[in-house]
Structure 1
Amino acid sequence: MAAPSRRMRVLITNDDGPPSGTGGHSPFIYPFARALMTHLNWDVRVVVPASQRSWVGKSYLIAEKVTGAYYYPRGEDGTEGETRELPRPIGEGEMEWVLLDGTPATCSSIALHNLFPANSFDLVISGPNFGRNTSTAFALSSGTLGAALAASLSGTRAVALSWGLMEGYKPPPAEFVDAAAKLSCQVIEKLAEAGWGSGEEHVDVYSVNVPLMPEIISRPEVRWTTMANTSYGRLFKSTPHPDTTSAATDSGGPAAIAEPKQASEQASGEGDENLLVSEQHWKEKLHFAFAPDLSSLVNPRKEDLEEGTDKHAIHNGAISVTPIRAAFAEARPPQGIPLEGLKWKI
């Protein structure tokens, strides 16, 4: 009689931090971790940032020391837990999480190489993110994707999981969260069974986006997708410097669009244009806050949704699964530079 195979060992990390409850920015990780253990009987460990670290991509803060603590979540949403500097014995039904003062990629790396023995995990799941990570503009900025890519570059299979808030940044109904947790378990289990391919079909990370919409309850659907190509505009907004007096913001406020300099103030040399800092910044210290305008990404026009992409899928109520590689896509070089073989003629 063949020996029973051991349980899947899974590391969960994220970029939203420890459980926050439905009104905060990290309401999904606790119910999802419980679902993996309940529905799939997987062996789950959790290592997450001690606070929210969204929009940091796959970054490491190499000049900073990383400290951590142990967290023992309790309560219905995991927020009634105990934080300790040193671990303690784990009670029946308890989980021991690790909170690190670092980026999502840092959490992924330290968990794989420092906290647990080598080759401890069969899979790293980063997420579920509080919001979608569809299309290049979101994915290339995402700490959720960053942690999964970091795991892949460390030789561990990875899934980046995001739950899309399709009706604004407000707590979704509990039935949506329950359905998303169950479906995410089913999708990830099938991916684990199918594998990550080899050769030209090798996959480093699966990016899974689940739209929190009625469709995931009434008619759940999963689609293979590609990543939509998108871009964003303004990400930061000029704000008053803490040391700035109100006198510096009299002319329309710090976010006002300054009028261009008069032509007489421009450099007059032929082909020489004097690019000046907008006039408002001559009157105040430079100070900016992250305040992105993402309206076109979050609420795209129907004609901008290309069929077959992750963006199109979730806006039609379907779960998107995008296979990606931990590499920059190569582009063809322009034809206007004289060459000798592959060498430039300088």
Structure 2
Amino acid sequence: MKPKILITNDDGLYSLGLRASYDALKDLGEVYVVAPMIQKSGVGRSISIMTPIRMHKVHVNGMEVYAVDGTPTDAVILGIYEVIGEIPDLIVSGINLGENLSTEAVTTSGTVCSALEGATQGSKAIAISLEMPDHEKFEVFPKEFDFSLAKRVLRKIARKVLKDGLPEGVDVLNVNVPSKAVDERIVVTRLARKLYRTRVEKRYDPRGREYYWIYGIEIEDAEEGTDIHALKNGYVSVTPISVDLTAEVDFKSLERWLNE
């Protein structure tokens, strides 16, 4: 029996990265593509529990896609329980247009968080992103990006996961592919603490009312062994992630501290 593979993303159904994932995986099993209708970057693991969700089957870029008017997490849930009807053998989120690095990405990226949702539901999961300049990530009419290395890396890792599963204690593999790779070697990394130095810019509209842009200045350097360090040095970064966010502390000591 062919393994069932669910592909999703947070860039929307027209993303060239979605098609790249499909091309890399289409002959590895029974592939289903379920994705948000529009760009949903940065929504994290939000879920539509207060509004109804609609889903339509469409043909985009040569693929049959189930388009969901909700979040990436919504797409995963509908993909599992309405489209496939069972837990898939593998969920792949991406290929995202732009890297997803550090603890910030784990909590805010729709790409990573949809993979986490898949893992929570019981599937093996991969999130994969391709590094690119900020000004190219959200272009209305994007140019053709070079997905060749990302596709080879995704295919290699997907085949390994489908064959052998994930290591004990690992729920998601967060993969980041450099735009200019030194070679195709994969480096296993830990999450850097931060990718951006947060900034807030106050502006005024034509009527003089205040509004704000939240943005960040990218951190160029990071400790060796982190995902940022590997990517900035031209290596493919793979970070093993667990859905269990419990801190590794001495519970008894913490209880004594709380009850002093």
TM tier relative to shorter chain: 0.7 to 0.9
2:29 corresponds to:
42
Check whether the contact 2:196–2:218 (CA below 8 A) recurs between aligned residues.
no
Q: Distance in 2 between matches of 1:143 and 1:313?
A: 22
Q: Distance in 1 between matches of 2:28 and 2:250?
A: 50
2:189 corresponds to:
225
Mapping for residues 212-291 of structure 1, pairs under 5 Å: 212-215=179-182, 219-230=183-194, 232-234=196-198, 236-241=200-205, 245=207, 248=208, 284=209, 286-289=210-213, 291=214
| Aligned mate of 1:306, from 223, 234, 238 | 223
1:33 corresponds to:
22
| Aligned mate of 1:153, from 108, 112, 120 | 120
How many residues align? The count is 255
Does 2:245 match 1:328?
yes
1:177 corresponds to:
147
SS in 2 for 1:206: strand
2:86 corresponds to:
118
1:258 corresponds to:
none
Runs of at least 4 residues off by over 6 Å: none
Task: Report how far residue 7 of structure 1 moved.
Answer: 2.1
Mapping for residues 40-79 of structure 1, pairs under 5 Å: 40-73=27-60, 78=61
| Aligned mate of 2:96, from 109, 112, 129 | 129
The residue identity in structure 2 corresponding to 1:64 is T
Task: Report how far residue 342 of structure 1 moved.
Answer: 7.0
Q: Distance in 1 between matches of 2:174 and 2:21?
A: 16
Check whether the contact 1:180–1:212 (CA below 8 A) recurs between aligned residues.
no
Q: Distance in 2 between matches of 1:196 and 1:112?
A: 20
Q: Distance in 2 between matches of 1:155 and 1:103?
A: 19
Does 2:162 match 1:186?
no
Q: Deviations over 1:283-302 (max 9, x none)?
A: x4x5334x412332xxx13x
Unaligned regions of 5+ residues in structure 1, if any?
1-5, 20-25, 79-93, 249-283
| Aligned mate of 1:139, from 100, 106, 119 | 106
How has the CA–CA distance of structure 1 residues 288 and 154 changed in structure 2, closer, same or farther, with 3 Å as cutoff? same
Does 2:165 match 1:195?
yes
Q: Distance in 2 between matches of 1:52 and 1:129?
A: 11
2:64 corresponds to:
96
Q: Distance in 1 between matches of 2:170 and 2:77?
A: 19
How has the CA–CA distance of structure 1 residues 318 and 173 changed in structure 2, closer, same or farther, with 3 Å as cutoff? farther
Name the structure where strand makes up a greater proportion of residues: 2
How has the CA–CA distance of structure 1 residues 235 and 124 changed in structure 2, closer, same or farther, with 3 Å as cutoff? farther
The residue identity in structure 2 corresponding to 1:222 is I
Q: Deviations over 1:26-55 (max 9, x none)?
A: 221112202212xx4322100000000000
The residue identity in structure 1 corresponding to 2:184 is P
Higher Rg of the two aligned structures: 1
Does 2:209 match 1:294?
no
Q: Distance in 1 between matches of 2:94 and 2:18?
A: 7
Unaligned regions of 5+ residues in structure 2, if any?
137-141
How has the CA–CA distance of structure 1 residues 14 and 333 changed in structure 2, closer, same or farther, with 3 Å as cutoff? same
Task: Report how far residue 188 of structure 1 moved.
Answer: 2.2
| Aligned mate of 2:7, from 8, 12, 21 | 12
Percent identity between matched residues is 29
Task: Report how far residue 318 of structure 1 moved.
Answer: 1.1
